[in-house]
Structure formats: C-alpha cells, structure tokens
Amino acid sequence: MRKLFALSLVAAVAGVLAVAAPAMSKHKSLEVDDNYFVEKGKPRTVAVHVGDTVEWEWEDDAVNPHNVTVKKGPVKFHSKTKTSGTYEKKLKKAGTYKIVCTIHASQGMKMTLKVKPKS
C-alpha cells in the first residue's frame, strides 16, 4: 500500500512540474513607435532569460511602418514591416542580439536584447 501511495505521489508531482514548467518562462512586452523601440526615453537595452517570450507591440499612434530585425546575434529573426499589431519571439539561445528597424536604423531605431542563460 505504501509503495502504491509513493508511486502515486511521484506521478502527481511529475504532472504538476510538467504543467508548471512552461508557465515559468516570462513574457516581456516592448513598444514599437515612430523611431523608437522599448519606450520613449527608456534605455535601449533589455535583458531577458532563455525561454522567455518577447513581444513587440506597435503603438496605435504609429504612423510610419516598422519592423524588428536582428542584424547581429546568435539567431537571426525578422518581423514583417507593419504599422500595427504585434510580433512575438520565444528566445531559445543566450547571447546579445542587436536589433534594428531596417527602415529607420539610420535615425537611431536600434536596441540591444541580452538573453541570459536560465538561472
């Protein structure tokens, strides 16, 4: 009887961990507006961890089209060029990502995303 109880307890804990593990990753939201990422006036470097999801959200008052493009980093990714909506990326590799809007990079629309290993 004790063995059955212990086995049931182990199975229950494993089930809880399997469900909770994906929930442990975080979600980071960043703004995309005319000629800036993150938030106007805020630092252009954002830190997250491996497994986190970053969401870039185009602000309602954005007039110009923008995109999110990794120019240098462990993994390259690129959003569509648009004026509204969101773009999400789950980050699976640690490292430093240099991100630009390819249309407005010369106007300073750049950011750095530092993805740290899971702690």
DSSP 1-15: -HHHHHHHHHHHHHH
Q: Does domain 25-116 have CATH number 2.60.40.420?
A: yes
Torsion of CA 18, 46, 86, 92, to 10 degrees: -40
In the predicted structure, residue 9 carries a pLDDT above the cut 90? no
Domain boundaries, the chain: 25-116
Pick the more confident residue, 64 or 17: 64
In the chain, at which residue ranges do the beta strands (DSSP E only) sit?
A: 27-33, 36-38, 45-49, 53-58, 69-72, 85-90, 95-100, 110-116
Pick the more confident residue, 47 or 11: 47
In the predicted structure, residue 15 carries a pLDDT above the cut 50? no
In the predicted structure, residue 68 carries a pLDDT above the cut 90? yes
Q: What is the predicted pLDDT for the residue at 11?
A: 47
Distance in angstroms between the alpha carbons of the first and the last residue of the chain? 39
Q: Average of pLDDT values for 61-82? A: 94
Q: What is the predicted pLDDT for the residue at 1?
A: 53
- Above pLDDT 70, what percent of the chain? 76
pLDDT band at 108 (very low <50, low <70, confident <90, very high): confident
Dihedrals phi, psi of 79, to nearest 5 degrees: -90, 170
